[in-house]
Chains A and B, each alone.
Chain A
Amino acid sequence: MKDSLRRILLVGVAFALAGLVPAGKAGAEGQVVYWPLVSNATEYRRIPYPREAGPLLVLADSEVVIEARRAEVAFWPITREYLADFAGPPEFIEGTVEIVDGAGNVIAPTPEPYVLWYPAGVGAGPSDMVRGADAVALHEEYVNTARASALRLLEYQRLVTESRAAVEAWARMAADDPDNPPPPPPELTVPEPKPYQAFATEPREAAIVALPEGAYTVRIRARNSQLVPGSERGLISFASVDQGVGYVLRPGNRWTRPLVTFDPDEAVYTTGETDLFFQPVPVVEYVARRFTRLFRPQSVEVIDPSLTLWVPDESRGDSGYNSRFALWNGQTRLETLERTAYRVAQKPGRTRGYEIEEFTGRADGPLEPDFVAIRVGRELPVTRVGIEGASGSGNAGSGVRAIRRVTPVPEYVLFLPALLPLAVGLAMRGLAGRLLAARRDRPIEVG
């Protein structure tokens, strides 16, 4: 026994020492670092791939910019990642990017200009890649529009300053001669121009590919037709497993704290105290381990390889869910509703609070709706919701969600099931005792 324990302890110490050994070299090392611009169907990001980060991950059929830089790479023990030092002027690897598929076919995309286009502004919505001649034209148009918008804004600010100065001058004159004040200056009626929020990056030339699902090899061929040493890497292009409709769910009494339900296996539990606002969102299902590594390829997180993840898919826009929203009670359809614009109006007075009301303003007016959703009233006995005529199939495609209305019971009542085993045990003991007594009392038949 003592020998066994000693052996177990020795194995434990060996593992502990193995853990103490640093996972990689502490010093920095110069190497080819791929620096692709990849999309997760919502936004684009540059992801550095030192050699230790493993194969490049990209979404199938999404446009990806493939570039590589030479950089010093060092292990950063805090995050357990190999970090490339991109400080200083970028040293891009010159040459032709080649993608080799499983059958050995080589694709060598010609570098072309591209821009990243943020129609709602950076960090305020999806971004899109525009390539080729369109990229240059878009950038030119963006610069012109942004410049014109800035000029309009400057002009407006000049008018505001002039108007204020006129009002101040009038106020001074009126104060000097209060009995006979001069006529006030005309009110400023020029509407404030809307700020231009869109943004486009500078056009840049690079190899752009959109690869079907599969495993590839990426490499760079130098001008002398030789492969750049250390440039050969794996590349995995992965596709979605399924797609469907999810929701951003706003409780009427907490509209600023929405919940999301992207997974069709989820159900909505409600106490029925508030209206629910369902905002449909196109969603797509990916293998979780791949998707979470798309933007963090060196993540140490261990994710079950068979788990999947539902995420919003901005690239699909409104298509597929801009249909009628059906409310069901069991098999009975209660109502079909359409998306409506809502505005949150603050209540005046001491009670404060707010009310969510239908937005009645003009589309081109100064006011905008706070959100567009489908209202499910608290009074409706809804057990299921879903979208009619959606493009997808099954529960995921039609955005079906079970709605379960719950009446909370006192907490001590919930502990009653814990007594069931004891009750069953006592009952069985009682029964066994009775059977034993009956057997004991039975007269013994002789002969």
Chain B
Amino acid sequence: MSGPVAIPTRLSVAGVIAWREAKATMRGVGGLAALTVALIAAIWVVLVDVRALRASGVLVLADPLKASMSTAILVLALFVAVSAAVSAARDRESGTLEVLFYGPVDEVSYILGKLGGLLLAYVAGLPLLIVSFAILSALTGFALTVPVVLGLCLSVIPAAEIIGFGVMLSVGTDRVRTALLVLITTIAVLFGISIAYTMVLLVEIDDPSSSVLPLRDTLAALDAVVRWISPFAYLDRVVDGAASRAWRTALAGLAASVAFTAAMTAIAAWWLRRRGVHRRGE
């Protein structure tokens, strides 16, 4: 296998892997389908305000496309997370990973290449998303404000964190199926805790000995943890912070995302080195 690689070589190798990865993602139907699904979800969200305006005749809104933009970004982020998990696991399953490592590829360049490629694909989707939202803005009459567009542009950094998260979860798996299962379970747990906490807050409690109370408090503690560790929470913090003009929060979220991305890349590279490029049992 490959030994230590010089930094310029490592970067150029990562660039080659990234370009291949980006081309593969952009050529596939998956990216376009994800964009379409993201837009359908976003339009569905904006319909709430469209219907309210039609019913009442007057509506007061600061950023009517904020919630729908956040929804679209979330769908795209989920897509890149899945792509990242699938991509790394597929390389191992098909033996590509082993072949790559006979060349001047090491763990860091491989992980950086995967991260860069998927990030490039994500960035390539953003102009389409902005144009689609501009058309939606023209059709609904709802203003597409600068902070909302800025939130979309800044989402690139937490998207990198999400890709890193997906790659990190998949480097330890042998099969695509396992990688997907691990990712989906993790995402379900992260979102499930927040959703469960929101739901349990809706339960009316009038007895201090109610069994809902320990559940609520446990979920509150878990939710607080999720807010700190979930890459999707940082995505929300950055996008929503920028769109709400809460610049300090958005910047803090960006800084945390950069740090988490670096940490996840390092963990993924370390894990890959420890785990090796072969499948288990080979």
| Chain A residues within CB distance 8 Å of chain B | 1, 4, 12, 15-16, 18-20, 22-23, 76-78, 80, 249, 251, 253-254, 257, 259-261, 263, 265-271, 273-274, 276, 300, 302, 304-307, 402, 404-409, 411, 413-422, 424-425
9 A–B contact pairs at CB < 8 A?
A251-B57, A267-B60, A268-B59, A271-B57, A409-B140, A414-B46, A420-B128, A420-B132, A421-B32
Tell whether B35 is near chain A: CB-to-CB under 8 Å: yes
Is the Cβ of A414 less than 8 Å from the Cβ of B131?
no
Interface assignment of B202: CB less than 8 Å from any CB of chain A: no
Residues in B with CB closer than 8 Å to A411 are 47, 50
Asked if A306 and B36 make an inter-chain contact with CB atoms under 8 angstroms apart, the answer reads no
Cβ–Cβ contact A408 & B54, under 8 A: yes
Taken together as a complex, chains A and B put the C-alpha atoms of A302 and B135 apart, in Å, by 35
Contact A419 B58 (CB under 8 A): no
Q: Are B59 and A269 in contact (CB under 8 A)?
A: yes
How close is A392's CB to chain B, nearest CB, in angstroms? 19
- Residues of chain A within 8 A (CB-CB) of B57 are 251, 253-254, 270-271, 273-274
- The interface size of chain B toward A, counting residues with CB under 8 Å, comes to 56
Contacting pair A415 B58 (CB below 8 A): no
Total contacts A-B at CB 8 Å? 156
Q: Interface of chain A, helix or strand or loop or mixed?
A: mixed
Is the CB of B24 closer than 8 A to any CB of chain A? no
Give the Cβ gap from A401 to chain B, nearest Cβ, in Å.
Answer: 9
Taking the complex as formed, is B245 at the interface, i.e. its CB lies under 8 A from any CB of chain A? yes
Are B222's CB and A265's CB within 8 A? no
How would you classify the secondary structure of chain B's contact residues: helix, strand, loop or mixed? Answer: helix
Instruction: From known contacts A266-B60, A415-B43, A418-B132, infer whether A304 and B249 are also in contact, taking CB-CB under 8 Å.
Output: yes
Chain B contacts for A267, CB-based, 8 A: 60-62, 143
- Closest-by-CB residue of B relative to A258 is B58
Residues in B neighbouring A4, C-beta threshold 8 A? 172
- Is B6 interfacial (CB 8 A cutoff)? no
Partner of B40, one of A274, A402, A415: A415
- Evaluate contact between B53 and A271: CB separation under 8 angstroms: yes
B residues 174-205 touching A (CB-CB < 8 Å): 205
Task: Specify which of B135, B141, B208, B245 is in contact with A269 (CB 8 Å cutoff).
Answer: B141
The answer to whether B222 and A15 have CB atoms under 8 Å apart is yes
A22 to B208, CA, bound (A): 12
| A416-B248 contact, Cβ under 8 Å, with A251-B57, A269-B60 | no
Q: Is the CB of B43 within 8 A of A417?
A: yes
* CB-CB nearest in chain A for B35: A421
- Chain B residues with CB below 8 A from A408, complex form: 50, 53-54
User: Looking at the complex, which one of B53, B62, B210, B217 makes contact with A266 (CB distance below 8 Å)?
Assistant: B62
The answer to whether A425 touches B139 (Cβ under 8 A) is no
